Amino acid sequence: MKTPAFEVHMPKTLDDALETAKHLHEGGHDFDWISGGTDLIPNYKWGINPKPHVISIFGVSELKGISATRIGAMVRLQDIVESTVAHPLIVEAAGTIASVMIRRSGTLGGNLCLDTRCFWLNQSETWRKSIDYCHKCDEGTGADCRVIPNQNELCVATYQGDLAPALMCLDARIHLASHRGTRSMLLEDFFQEDGITRNVLETGEIVTHIQLPENSADFIGSYQKLRLREAWDFPEGGVAFSVGISADGTVSTINMASTGFESIPRKHIELIEALDKGPNWALEAERLGAELKRAVRPVLNTWFPPAYRKKMASVLARRAMEETSKRVTSG
């Protein structure tokens, strides 16, 4: 494998970085941001949308730093795993990602902006030629979608990041910056349902950090991940669940979010709204699981067949709830 040549830009400050992006954009140059590179570089090697310019935000100190309520985009995943201040639910989800070695390079921002994945996409150029190319990454070939033929409106490549559902369950806000200024939103509003667009980021815009509510320490939760092997594998389905405990010990909020089933991670607000928030909330695990199973719509483009992943959604949801309940009880 040979990585296509690209020019690397290494800004030292956030302003520098945004300025570089602006400059490249105005000059008509295509570019990508690179943080840990564990997702981008393999894709480049396979000829999946390589760009001639890459802006590395490795040296941008504003993007670093981790506290109980704020995690910078450039914080490495393994630093989250080893952190004593990060929320346990985030630590748990981060600990399931890939392997220690990859986590030592991969970052929070990179994981949230993970490119979507598909059997027909994550292949070499020679391979993709043999299926007459892929709709997502071989623009200009007029290729059809290979997962759901005869449509090239929507890309159904699967989002397989682990952190997003955990952060959604903590009501995290994601903060973005570009040369036009900054903005922030709830994490669930960051993602856009299309395997190509993926999220709201505009050209030249980057994720700076995520912010958790001040009371996030009152949230207790669990993340359950479906995969074939306990290392390396992306989630074939992942469910995070959390409850917010009030000062009087009652449950004030309940959250559930999933990943790995569709082209975006999803917070299941409607399912939760119907849930009894009384002291017996945990008894609803079985029913909630069944409802999540109905709600998710996986397609045949990852390792496990969609029918199995759908069935497992209910097991994952139930286990996430049961585990949370156990953790609430044990304090």
Partner 1 sequence: MPEDKKEIVGYRQQPGKLDFTRPGSGGSSPNSEKRDPSMIPQSQGGELDQPWGPHRHDDLVTGRIIGKRTPLIDSRWKVTGQAVYGDDVRLPGEIIGRLVRSDRHYAKVLSIDMTDVESIPGVLATATGIDAPSAFGVLPVTKDEHAMALEKVRHIGDIVACVAAEDEETARLASAAVRIEYQDLEPIFDMRDGLKDSPDPIHDRDIYHIGESNVQKRVFQRFGRISDLKNSIASYENEWTFKGVNHGFTEPHAVVAHWDPRGRLTLYTPQQVPHYVHRALADVLDIPMHQINVHRTYVGGGFGGKSDPFPHEMCAAILARKSGRPVRITFDREEVFWTNRGRHPSRISMAIHADKEGRFSGIETDALIDGGGFASFGHVTTYYNGVLHTAPYEIGAFHYTGARVWTNKPASGAMRGHGAVNSRCAVEVGIDHISEELGVDPIDLRLANLLPPHSATITGFRVTSIGMRECLERVRKESGWDKKFRKMPLGKGIGVGCGFFISGSGLPIHWDPNKFPHATVHLKIDMDGGVTIHTGAADIGQGSDTVVGQAVAEVLGLPMDMIRIRSKESDTSPVDLGSYSSRVTFMNANAAVSAAMEVRSELIEAASLITGVEASCLVLGDRRIFNKKDPAVGVSYLQALHKAQEDRGALIASGSYRTPPMGKMHKGAAAGLAPAYSFSAYVAEVDVDIETGRIKVEKVWAAHDCGKALNPLSVEGQIIGSCHMGLGQVISEEMKYGRTGNLLNPDLLGYKIPTVHEMPEVVPIIVESNDPEGPFGAKEAGEGPLLPILPAVCNAVYDAIGVRTNELPLTPDRLYRSIEKACKQQGIKDPRDLPNPSLEQTPLSDILIRRAKDHAKRDRERRLNPNPDAYYNGQLFNRHDTGPPEENDPDWTVQVLPDQEYLENPKLAGSAWLHKERRHMEGVE
Which of residues 233 and 262 has its CB atom nearest to partner 1 in the complex?
Answer: 233
Which of residues 8 and 231 has its CB atom nearest to partner 1 in the complex?
Answer: 231
Which of residues 151 and 303 has its CB atom nearest to partner 1 in the complex?
Answer: 303
CB-count exposure of residue 216 (10 Å: 0-12, 13-18, 19+): buried
The closest alpha carbon to 256, from 248, 283, 244, belongs to 244
- Residue 159 is classified by DSSP as P
Of 311, 322, 327, 328, the residue at the interface with partner 1 (CB under 8 A) is 311
Which of residues 87 and 128 has its CB atom nearest to partner 1 in the complex?
Answer: 128
CB-count exposure of residue 40 (10 Å: 0-12, 13-18, 19+): buried
Q: What is d(CA 90, CA 77) in angstroms, rounded to the nearest whole number?
A: 10
Tell me the two tokens of residue 205.
Answer: 């815009």
Which of residues 109 and 306 has its CB atom nearest to partner 1 in the complex?
Answer: 306
Which of residues 221 and 306 has its CB atom nearest to partner 1 in the complex?
Answer: 306
Q: What is d(CA 244, CA 279) in angstroms, rounded to the nearest whole number?
A: 13
- Kindly indicate which of the ranges 19-27, 108-116, 263-271, 304-312 contains the residues binding partner 1, using the contact rule CB under 8 A: 304-312
Phi, psi angles (nearest 5°) of residue 266:
-135, 135
Q: What is d(CA 313, CA 309) in angstroms, rounded to the nearest whole number?
A: 6
Decide if residue 295 touches partner 1 (CB under 8 A).
Answer: no
Cβ–Cβ < 8 Å for 106, 77 = yes
Decide if residue 156 touches partner 1 (CB under 8 A).
Answer: no
Q: How far is CA 215 from CA 8, 239, 243, in A?
A: 40, 22, 12
- Kindly indicate which of the ranges 58-66, 104-112, 264-272, 311-319 contains the residues binding partner 1, using the contact rule CB under 8 A: 311-319
Q: How far is CA 71 from CA 21, 67, 100, 107, 177, in A?
A: 23, 6, 19, 10, 15
x/- contact string, 229-268, with partner 1 (CB under 8 A)?
xxxxx-----------------------------------
- Kindly indicate which of the ranges 86-94, 115-123, 151-159, 272-280 contains the residues binding partner 1, using the contact rule CB under 8 A: 115-123
Decide if residue 6 touches partner 1 (CB under 8 A).
Answer: no
Decide if residue 326 touches partner 1 (CB under 8 A).
Answer: no
Q: What is d(CA 182, CA 189) in angstroms, rounded to the nearest whole number?
A: 16
- Kindly indicate which of the ranges 61-69, 71-79, 203-211, 227-235 contains the residues binding partner 1, using the contact rule CB under 8 A: 227-235
Decide if residue 152 touches partner 1 (CB under 8 A).
Answer: no
Which residues make up the interface to partner 1 (CB under 8 A)?
1-2, 5, 99, 119-120, 122-124, 126-127, 129-131, 146, 226, 228-233, 303-305, 308, 311-312, 315
